[in-house]
Amino acid sequence: MIGKLIENIKKKQAPVMVGLDPTMKLVPEHIKQKAFAEYGETLRGAAEAVWIYNKGIVDAVYDLVPAVKPQIAMYEQFGVEGVAVYHKTVEYCKQKGLVVVGDIKRGDIGSTSEAYAVGHLGQVQIGSARCRGFDEDFATVNPYLGSDGVKPFIEVCKQEKKGLFILVKTSNPSSGEFQDRLVLPDGCTDASKARPLYELVGEQVARWGADHMGQEYSYIGAVVGATYPEMGRVLREIMPKSYILVPAYGAQGGKGADLVHFFNKDGLGAIISSSRGIIGAYQQEKYGKYGEQNYADAARAAVVDMREDIAQALR
């Protein structure tokens, strides 16, 4: 799947993905009204509204981007109905030829991670049958539980030719609270040798990556927030063969010019993600002329601008 992702990136000339992170505040009024008229102001009504909204955006941008990243939390907020629309969205995006990164940030003890891995990326044995649950192409994984919480995901990826992006340095303001802590290397008592935790996690991702290669790149990638470009530069060197998923372009503050060092010299190795900046473009002054009715056209215009911003930075 890392091969398909890179092929898609090359074909569309855009190392860019759209985060499908719907909230009720982002869904245009006319869509909500229609869904609520049919299903009421209920979880079902909200889920239906999200589905119509998502479909509009995907139809408007699928030819411009290689991948999408639905954030499952935004669906879980609407309970089981929301989770059903998450699945429907994953399926629809795959039909459109998009690579789907499930932003699920799961991670648990071994046997539990295995269940997540099977449910999201693999097949579960049911009697004599093998069935697929959510079936994303990639998933994001939280490494706090260490190797035995990550390896079941890697195993399933190996079998299924899928991939992971493991959290190394997240984009949020307080990510440094634990991730930036200065850690002594094993057995070392020299404080001057201490290094931030995220670098150690990055090194572990690089090791996992080296053992699980596609052609040019590994199918075990990393998440490093666009909001920390200097750390991105260091992590790029630590994990030369890992694709880096870079969230937080746009709404959270990242800009194309800041992101050059997330890429390798081959122009590959990173994919930049924007969520609200694209799917909520119609609410921004810059794209206000499109109006709420044409939210999908606004999203397309925002993708065109994002592609250009990043292409220019990479030139």
User: Of the candidates 7, 63, 144, 286, which one interacts with a second copy according to CB under 8 A?
Assistant: 144
Q: Which is nearer to a second copy, 120 or 307 (CB)?
A: 120
Which listed residue (16, 32, 205, 299) binds a second copy by CB under 8 A?
Answer: 32
* Residue 239, SS3 per DSSP: coil
For 107-113, which contacts have Cβ atoms below 8 Å and span 24 or more sequence positions? 107/141, 107/142, 107/143, 107/144, 107/145, 107/149, 107/150, 108/145, 108/149, 109/145, 109/148, 109/149, 110/148, 110/149, 110/151, 110/152, 111/152, 113/145, 113/148, 113/149, 113/150, 113/151, 113/152, 113/153
Contacts of a second copy in 40-59 (CB under 8 A) = 40-43, 45-46
Give the Cβ contact number of residue 59 at 10 Å: 13
Q: Which of residues 215-274 bind a second copy (CB under 8 A)?
A: 248, 252
Are 268 and 240 contacting, i.e. CB atoms less than 8 angstroms apart?
Answer: no
Q: Residue 194 interacts with a second copy (CB under 8 A)?
A: yes
Identify residues 2-21 at the interface with a second copy (CB under 8 A).
21
**Shortest Cβ 98–a second copy spacing (Å):** 20
255 is an active site residue? no
Position 159 contacts a second copy (CB under 8 A): no
Of 3, 4, 24, 216, the one binding a second copy by CB under 8 A: 24
CB 256 to a second copy: min, Å:
21
**Selected binder of a second copy within 84, 268, 313, 314 (CB under 8 A):** 84
Rule CB under 8 A: say whether 105 interacts with a second copy. yes
Beta-strand (E) ranges in 71-162?
99-106, 124-126, 129-131, 138-141
Q: Let me know: does 244 contact 270? Beta carbons within 8 Å.
A: yes
Of 34, 88, 96, 105, the catalytic one is 105
- Which residues are designated catalytic? 105
